[in-house]
Amino acid sequence: MAHARPLVMKFGGTSVGTPEAMAQAVAIIRDAHQRWRPGGVVVVTSALAGVTDRLLRGVQAAARGEHDAVPQARAWLAERHRAMLEALIPPMERPALWGRIETLLETFAQLGWAMTVLGEVTPRALDAVAALGEQMSAPLLAAALRAQGVPATMVDAREIIVTDAHFGAAHPDEVASRERIRARLQPLLAQDQVVVVPGFIAATEDGVTTTLGRGGSDYSAALIGALLPAEEVWIWTDVDGVMSADPRLVPDAHTIPELSYREVAELAYFGAKVLHPKTIRPVIEANIPLRVRNTFHPEGPGTLIRQERAAVPGQIKALTVIWDLSMVTVEGRGMLGVPGVAARTFAAVASTDTSVLMITQASSEQSISFIIPRGRGPQVKAALEETFARELARKDIDRIHILAPVAIITVVGEGMRETPGVAGRIFGALGRAGINVIAIAQGASEVALSLVVAEDEAVDAVRALHPLTRDITRPA
């Protein structure tokens, strides 16, 4: 079949993390390059597995005064990349590529030194460090492709993805990026080149390096896919697609053949690590199908994500968990009469720069509860106590209470919409397993229902609920 528009394929850290894995990625890309014509193939790559973590841990330790941390990390990083070079790159090409990697490692050493001296890390400097991993993996993958006879050119993402200066989770400027992506990639694709782009990294208009947030290579691929535009975006990872639950928690989790954009958006938002939560929006807007596939099992069909079609009533597709959270409750009988309590509560939370994952309010209006990352608990409690000092003194608000650690379990499926029995099945399964549900919330989209449980009951809760997803294997 002819493909007029390009295919964007993203390879995650484990998919390029060892010489064997990268060789497998090269084979997949070579095959796609043969088949995906005349549109051509754009490849987005992560850093080798573990590299981003190691870079960041290195400089954070340096800032705490641990002088050995960066040299040790540098040696480890050099060894990881050298092994790839020796396995995948012909001897003639190694010196130039090695020189490039050495320069990046030297930058790492210097940034680490600067942070030791300063005793602090700024978000901007952290992005400069985090971005080094993809700057090493992308030229390596391009060279490994050429070594197998695939014409490949690397294009630095910092030349084509323009973002604001929100370091650590920069926001792309789609208009500026679209123009550059097209101008830079289309001519190369027309020359039959596979274009290799480092994921995760970008730059401001002034050329300062930024990153799109941890796990952000998925987002890079979706953005490039939407702005080119591509015919499809494929995310190659280390599992057979989006599964009914994290396979590390539920060993008999199964791959879900098809999901709607909305379902996958809820899954990603509520903690399914397989896709970065921002990945979905660009592909929805451009209506581009997204596939999640296994680099180590490429013959599998994976998961296809696209606009929803008729949902199966009552069908639950998947479960996710977010760990390490706190539930904050503002409660008091006098709250009924106090105007603007909710607005003041969330203004106080916002002033601490904390994101709220979920909100519930009892119908009596005598309490508001919300969920935040556990580490933010003390700041949030202090901010609330300050905001409501008067109400607390007057006992209009009895207390501001933190329950921790808790987890949010989210049940996802388009079929849950307007299907009455689903909640009953969920609570029945949890009740039989003896699990206490602390709070509930349902999103406006009605494709997800979230439950708060004590963290030490979360694994049991997911395992108790997982049989409900089996419906999916029955024909509609």
Q: Residues touching ligand ASP: how many (CB under 6 A)?
A: 12
For ligand ASP, the nearest residue by Cβ is 217
Report the alpha-carbon distance of residue 218 to residue 11 in Å, rounded: 9
For Mg ion, the nearest residue by Cβ is 215
Binding to ligand ASP by residue 133, rule CB under 6 A? yes
Other beta carbons within 10 Å of 299: 6
Binding to ligand ADP by residue 263, rule CB under 6 A? no
Among residues 14 and 354, whose Cβ is nearest to ligand ASP? 14
Please provide the DSSP assignment of 14-67 as one string.
GGGSSHHHHHHHHHHHHHHHHHSTBT-EEEEEPPSTTHHHHHHHHHHHHHTT-T
What residues from 214 to 273 belong to the interface with Mg ion (CB under 5 A)?
A: 215
Closest CA to 138 of 51, 63, 71: 51
Closest CA to 215 of 259, 156, 291, 277: 277
DSSP 116: H
Of the candidate spans 44-52, 181-189, 289-297, 390-398, the one that interacts with ligand ASP by CB under 6 A turns out to be: 44-52
Binding to ligand ASP by residue 229, rule CB under 6 A? no
Q: What is the dihedral of CA 391, 397, 402, 403, to 10 degrees?
A: -170
Question: Nearest approach, Cβ of 234 to ligand ADP (angstroms)?
Answer: 12
What residues from 306 to 335 belong to the interface with ligand ADP (CB under 6 A)?
A: 318
Report the alpha-carbon distance of residue 436 to residue 474 in Å, rounded: 30
Cis ω before 378 (30° cut-off from 0): no
CA Rg value for the chain: 24
Binding to ligand ADP by residue 246, rule CB under 6 A? yes
Which partner from the list Mg ion, ligand ADP, ligand ASP, none does 397 bind, CB cut-off 5 to 8 Å by kind? none
Backbone angles phi, psi at 233, to 5 degrees: -120, 125
Backbone angles phi, psi at 434, to 5 degrees: 70, 30
Question: Nearest approach, Cβ of 140 to Mg ion (angstroms)?
Answer: 19
Binding to ligand ASP by residue 108, rule CB under 6 A? no
Binding to ligand ADP by residue 102, rule CB under 6 A? no
Of the candidate spans 97-105, 243-251, 327-335, 344-352, the one that interacts with ligand ADP by CB under 6 A turns out to be: 243-251
- Please answer whether residues 431 and 457 qualify as being in contact, where contact means their C-beta atoms are separated by less than 8 angstroms: no
What residues from 212 to 231 belong to the interface with ligand ADP (CB under 6 A)?
A: 215
Q: What mask, x for binding ligand ASP by CB under 6 A, covers residues 180 to 209? A: -------------------xx---------
Provide the residue type at 89 as one letter: I
Which partner from the list ligand ASP, Mg ion, ligand ADP, none does 248 bind, CB cut-off 5 to 8 Å by kind? ligand ADP
Cis ω before 298 (30° cut-off from 0): no
Question: Nearest approach, Cβ of 459 to ligand ADP (angstroms)?
Answer: 13
Which partner from the list ligand ASP, ligand ADP, Mg ion, none does 247 bind, CB cut-off 5 to 8 Å by kind? ligand ADP
Backbone angles phi, psi at 340, to 5 degrees: 70, 25
403 Cβ neighbours under 8 A, 6+ residues apart: 326, 327, 329, 438
Query: Which bin fits 18, alpha (ψ -120 to 50), beta or left (φ > 0)?
Result: beta
- Please answer whether residues 411 and 426 qualify as being in contact, where contact means their C-beta atoms are separated by less than 8 angstroms: yes
Residue in 47, 77, 439, 449 binding ligand ASP, rule: CB under 6 A: 47
Binding to ligand ADP by residue 432, rule CB under 6 A? no
Question: Nearest approach, Cβ of 246 to ligand ADP (angstroms)?
Answer: 4
Report the alpha-carbon distance of residue 79 to residue 75 in Å, rounded: 6
Question: Nearest approach, Cβ of 274 to Mg ion (angstroms)?
Answer: 7
Question: For binding to ligand ADP (CB under 6 A), which residues are involved?
Answer: 12-15, 46, 215, 237-239, 242-243, 245-248, 272-274, 318
Question: For binding to ligand ASP (CB under 6 A), which residues are involved?
Answer: 12-13, 46-47, 52, 133, 199-200, 214-217
Question: For binding to Mg ion (CB under 5 A), which residues are involved?
Answer: 12, 215
